[in-house]
Amino acid sequence: MIEVKDVSKRFKEIAAVQHVSFRVEAGEVYGLLGENGAGKTTTMRMMATVLTPTEGDIEISGFSVRQQPLEVRRRIGILFGGDVGLYSRLTARENIAYFGRLYGLEQARLEERIGRLSRMLEMDDFIDRRVGAFSRGMKQKVAIARTLVHDPDVILLDEPTTGLDVTAATIFRRMVRKLQEEGKTILFSSHNMGEINKLCKRVALMHKGKLRFAGGLDALREQFGTEDLDDIFMAVVEGSEG
């Protein structure tokens, strides 16, 4: 479970996130919507304890990011958009194994997790090749596997399908559904409305650091009087600029 409680984040005079509150239930796939600069990544960095809230708090599985950051880190897997951070001279398997060892996984468990993730993300053809020659999409798959290697209960994915082609994006959605079946709590940010519609029943919509909506997609459509999520998104953006 994730609970965001009246969270704000300021960088000197810039209010990046302003009094945001929403709740993600255990076992839920929840979408965080917004254009670039909306405050999505800043919010997720606070969840991951990379940034400390200026005001408010966030609880992950009952642990405060302010008071119990180490407990939070043990329970989350995090992938930040554009931050693949892989070692180019290592193979995909070696990259994933390196991070698994950092989390204290024993060898037998580590091998089992890597094999399972390789199959889930369809990486068997390149799991033992060096990452340096990989395409953007292949690197993104390895980064997702690295995020999941320690089998976290709460998974935070910031723009996870960046660089993925249509086939790889479909594989990603299958993976998310499988993880949900296993009881994982998943929050992922996106500005791709079609992707959100396929995976989520509830969303938070941010714009210019403020929360514009939090709740079910049906309620969102009813509030804006249209079924088209792209039209809703543009109504929020244009409404704030008018």
- Residues ≥6 apart with Cβ < 8 Å to 170: none
H-run or E-run covering 196: helix 193-199
Q: What is the mean pLDDT of each run of 10 residues along the chain (242 residues)?
A: 98 96 97 91 96 98 97 93 81 97 95 96 96 91 94 94 83 90 94 86 94 93 88 78 44
Full-model pTM: 0.90
In the three-class reduction of DSSP (H, G, I as helix; E, B as strand; rest coil), residue 90 is classed as coil
Q: Which long-range contacts (CB under 8 A, 24 or more apart) does 115-118 make?
A: 117/145, 117/148, 117/149, 118/92, 118/93, 118/145
* ∠ Cα 202 207 213 (to 5°): 30
- Would you state the pLDDT for residue 147? 94
Position 46 scores a pLDDT of 98
What pLDDT, on a 0 to 100 scale, did the predictor assign at position 82? 61
Q: Read out DSSP for 165-187?
A: -HHHHHHHHHHHHHHHHTT-EEE
Question: How far is 240 from 177, CA to CA, in rounded Å?
Answer: 34
Position of tokens 């980064």? 143
Copy the structure tokens of residue 88: 């180019």
- Answer for the pair 120, 182: CB distance below 8 angstroms, yes or no: no
**Domains along the chain?**
2-241 (3.40.50.300)
- Asked if 82 contacts 159 with a C-beta cutoff of 8 angstroms, the reply is yes
At residue 164, the pLDDT reads 79
pLDDT at 242: 39
Q: What are phi and psi of 56, to 5 degrees?
A: 80, -170
